[in-house]
């Protein structure tokens, strides 16, 4: 369990703001990523065309999601990939465990799973859950490997160790790796990590990966990466387990290149990544490499809640590029850990309420100035500020019969607020009551307190008018008669 929790967002954010090293690390990294994206989208017309196309593809695929998932399952199965469905994190971990237990470990050592980068595996807390059954999950993405050594969690969805500078990485290695000579030479640090991992790839019986795009038309799993560790995880061990959210399905193979281009340019400013892996089946007879078994775990974990509503469904368009985080004035100052959720920043604020419920995440949806920087850079044009406003509204909104509520709906409305809203509804729907109320408010306007809670700490509370519009009109009519 992470030491950071969304319930403690305010304190965690204050701690992050008071940490000058953390702020310096984030400022430097975010400026770098912003510049890279800007250079990759130098032509505004081209940028707009790429984003239009990516948005249209994601919206089409989400409209057909149930059919596409069935098609994906049928084609993966026909290709020899075993497909499993997980409603929540518990189900997904149970599936991992049962697959792991069916795999023979080559020695009496704990069973080893070597992992490529996967935010969904963070979402289900895979490493900690497997450790309870004496199964070791070793991270092989360099950023993930560094933070795993420290017992830390990712602070960014594509750059998990971005909160650390090279001196801090050297300190981490010095604290955990025998014979390491402290250095701030980045190449030497990378080589050190690689040497540690190389042997593990060879001996691990299970490789784990995420999925960037799952193609329904062909039953193909696409994986985008820069380090080559994803390819190692999916080809060297005898068993490969891919885990992903149900929203990652796309209809056609031809949908992938436009989304891939939008993803890499937005994420790291690259035209393409160093590696692009397409996994369509386990090893076939006569092939020299590849896993003997491939499993695909498709996870819901709250995504169908977002899917059921046309507005919140747009959340699922996300292709996890991280650009909204890199440009968010809140994220760039407090970093990822303060949010206390696996997905931090703007995307985390609109996705986490579906994964964890609004009650646990009610402060996160308010942690935005609604400046719109996230929407301006999102390659699939998710209207993040509007979705935040919708979630803020739902956090106060009573459940209505006939409407599917969001988990935790009305959590942010205090008992006093609920009673006041009920009283207002009653008054607003009964004219005599309403007129008496506005008349009374006008009579007591000078005795009202100067402050009404935190909202008025830096604002002057409005005063009721001495006479309501209705009373003024009545008076005027009387004068005219």
Q: Which residues bind ligand SF4 (CB under 6 A)?
A: 266, 318-324, 346-347, 377-380, 382
Structure tokens of 198? 């190389």
**Taking the complex as a whole, how short is the minimal distance between the CB of residue 185 and ligand SF4, in angstroms?**
32
Q: Distance (Å, rounded) from C-alpha 161 to C-alpha 142?
A: 9
Residue 40 CB, shortest distance to ligand SF4, in Å, is 14
The minimum distance between CB 12 and ligand SF4, in angstroms, equals: 21
Buried b (16+ CB within 10 A) or exposed e, 219-241: bbbbbbbbbebbbbbbbbbbbbb
| Cα–Cα distance list, 311 to 59, 265, 352, 390 (Å) | 12, 26, 16, 9
The secondary structure of residue 287, as a DSSP letter, is -
Token output for 241: 């387990």
Angle at 162 between CA 157 and CA 167, to 5 degrees: 160
Least Cβ distance, residue 317 to ligand SF4 (angstroms): 7
Token pair in block for residue 152: 């830390």
* Comparison of 219 and 322: residue with beta carbon closer to ligand SF4: 322
Q: Tokens 């470990």 label which residue?
A: 105
CB of 374 to ligand SF4, least distance (A): 6
User: Quick one: 83 or 316, whose CB is closer to ligand SF4?
Assistant: 316
Measure the CA–CA gap between 449 and 456, rounded to whole angstroms. 11
Between 327 and 337, CB nearer to ligand SF4: 327
> Which of helix, strand or coil describes residue 391?
helix
For residues 334 and 347, which CB has a smaller minimum distance to ligand SF4 in the complex?
347
Closest CA relative to residue 220, chosen from 343, 95, 72, 90: 72
Question: Which positions ≥6 away from 207 have C-beta within 8 Å?
Answer: 113, 114, 115, 116, 232, 233, 234, 235, 236, 237, 239, 240, 241, 291
> Do strands 220-225 and 275-279 pair parallel, antiparallel, or not at all (unpaired)?
antiparallel
Residue 375 Cβ vs ligand SF4, minimum distance, rounded to whole Å: 8
Rounded-to-integer distance, Cα 196 and Cα 203, Å: 12
Query: Minimum distance between the CB of residue 64 and ligand SF4, rounded to whole angstroms?
Result: 20
Closest CB to ligand SF4 among residues 231, 320: 320
Min dist CB 381 to ligand SF4, Å, is 8
Closest to ligand SF4 by CB, 294 vs 321, is 321
Question: Closer CB to ligand SF4, residue 281 or residue 386?
Answer: 386
Question: With left for phi above 0 and alpha for psi between -120 and 50, is residue 111 left, alpha or beta?
Answer: beta
Beta partners for 85? 298
Phi, psi of 84 (to 5 degrees): -130, 150
Q: Are strands 111-115 and 213-215 parallel, antiparallel or unpaired?
A: unpaired
Q: How far is the CB of 333 from ligand SF4 (least distance, A)?
A: 17
Spatial neighbors of 330 by CB under 8 A, at least 6 apart, are 345, 367, 368, 369
Helices 256-268/44-63 angle, 10° precision: 130
Q: Which is nearer to ligand SF4, 207 or 379 (CB)?
A: 379
What's the min distance (Å) between Cβ of 55 and ligand SF4?
10
Provide the minimum distance between the beta carbon of 373 and ligand SF4 in the complex, in angstroms, as a whole number. Answer: 10
The contacts of residue 262 (CB under 8 Å, 6+ apart) are 50, 51, 53, 54, 319, 321, 379, 380
Which residue number, 377 or 388, has a Cβ lying nearer to ligand SF4? Answer: 377
Beta carbon nearer to ligand SF4, 83 or 246: 246
Q: Which is nearer to ligand SF4, 249 or 293 (CB)?
A: 249
């Amino acid at each position: 369990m992470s030491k950071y929790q969304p319930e403690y967002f305010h304190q965690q954010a204050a701690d992050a703001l008071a940490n000058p090293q953390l702020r310096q690390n984030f400022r430097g990294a975010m400026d770098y990523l912003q510049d890279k994206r800007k250079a990759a989208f130098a032509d505004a017309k081209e940028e707009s065309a790429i984003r239009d196309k990516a948005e249209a593809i994601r919206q089409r695929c989400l409209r057909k999601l149930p059919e596409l998932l069935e098609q994906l399952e049928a084609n993966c199965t026909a290709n020899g990939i075993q497909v499993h469905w997980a409603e929540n994190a518990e189900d997904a971990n149970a599936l991992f465990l049962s697959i792991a237990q069916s795999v023979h470990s080559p020695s009496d050592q704990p069973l080893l799973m070597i992992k490529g980068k996967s935010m969904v595996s963070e979402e289900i807390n895979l490493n900690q859950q497997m450790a309870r059954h004496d199964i070791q999950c070793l991270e092989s993405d360099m950023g993930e490997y560094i933070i795993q050594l420290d017992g830390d969690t990712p602070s960014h969805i594509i750059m998990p160790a971005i909160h650390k500078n090279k001196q801090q990485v050297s300190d981490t290695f010095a604290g955990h790796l025998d014979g390491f000579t402290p250095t701030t030479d980045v190449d030497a640090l990378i080589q050190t990590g690689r040497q540690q991992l190389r042997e593990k790839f060879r001996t691990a019986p299970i490789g784990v990966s995420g999925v960037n795009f799952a193609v329904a038309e062909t039953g193909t799993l696409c994986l985008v990466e820069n380090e080559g560790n994803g390819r190692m995880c999916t080809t060297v061990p005898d068993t490969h387990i891919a885990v992903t959210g149900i929203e990652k399905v796309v209809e056609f193979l031809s949908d992938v290149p436009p989304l891939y281009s939008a993803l890499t340019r937005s994420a790291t400013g690259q035209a393409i990544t160093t590696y692009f892996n397409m996994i369509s089946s386990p090893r076939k007879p006569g092939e020299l490499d590849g896993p003997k078994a491939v499993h695909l775990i498709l996870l819901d974990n709250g995504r169908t809640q977002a899917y059921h509503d046309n507005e919140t469904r747009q959340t699922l368009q996300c292709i996890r590029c991280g650009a909204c985080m890199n440009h968010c004035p809140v994220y760039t100052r407090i970093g990822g850990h303060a949010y206390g959720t696996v997905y931090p920043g703007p995307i985390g604020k609109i996705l986490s309420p579906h994964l964890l419920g609004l009650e646990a995440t009610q402060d996160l949806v308010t942690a935005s100035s609604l400046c719109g920087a996230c929407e301006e850079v999102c390659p699939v044009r998710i209207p993040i500020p509007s979705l935040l406003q919708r979630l803020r509204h739902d956090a106060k909104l009573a459940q209505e019969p006939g409407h599917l509520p969001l988990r935790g709906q009305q959590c942010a409305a205090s008992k006093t607020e609920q009673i006041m809203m009920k009283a207002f509804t009653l008054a607003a729907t009964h004219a005599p009551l309403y007129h008496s109320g506005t008349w009374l408010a006008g009579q007591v306007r000078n005795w009202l307190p100067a402050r009404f809670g935190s909202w008025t700490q830096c604002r002057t509370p409005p005063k009721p008018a001495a006479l309501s519009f209705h009373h003024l009109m009545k008076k005027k009519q009387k004068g005219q008669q």
